[in-house]
Amino acid sequence: MTSGKTRLIAGIGSLIGGITLAGLGTPAAFAAPDCSPAGVNSAAAAVNTQAQAYLMSHPAANKVLMTASLQPRPQAEANLQAYAASNPQEYAEFKAILTPLAVIQNQCGVAVVPPQFQWAFDQFVN
């Protein structure tokens, strides 16, 4: 699980280790997640793939995330919030990509996002 989680987080533009931001238009209500190690790995890999593709097609969002990864946390949080406020559609789409990870963390009781990057992940899913 660790290498998949690390790649997932690095894929979010670099905010989360370099953050990663199951799909666009995913319904708000999810079926109970597969909490087996294979199920968690599979979900993390799917989110990673979708996040990377999304960021490749949204260079401004990718740049904000990469820049935030190099900033002090308060500045990074403020910049992420400002970008989300001025780009609500992108925020909603990126949040939809990340939501399955939040569901897994909450319902399976596993840490999919490394602790040092949880704050950044929380900027998108809360």
Give the residue carrying structure tokens 């199951």.
22
List pLDDT tens digits, range 69-110: 888 888 988 988 899 999 999 989 988 888 888 888 888 988
Domain residue extents for the chain: 2-19+36-125
CA distance from start to end of the chain:
24
Alpha carbons 80 and 42: distance in angstroms, whole number: 28
Q: Is residue 12 very low, low, confident or very high in pLDDT (cuts 50, 70, 90)?
A: very low
List pLDDT tens digits, range 14-51: 343 333 333 333 334 446 788 999 998 898 888 888 98
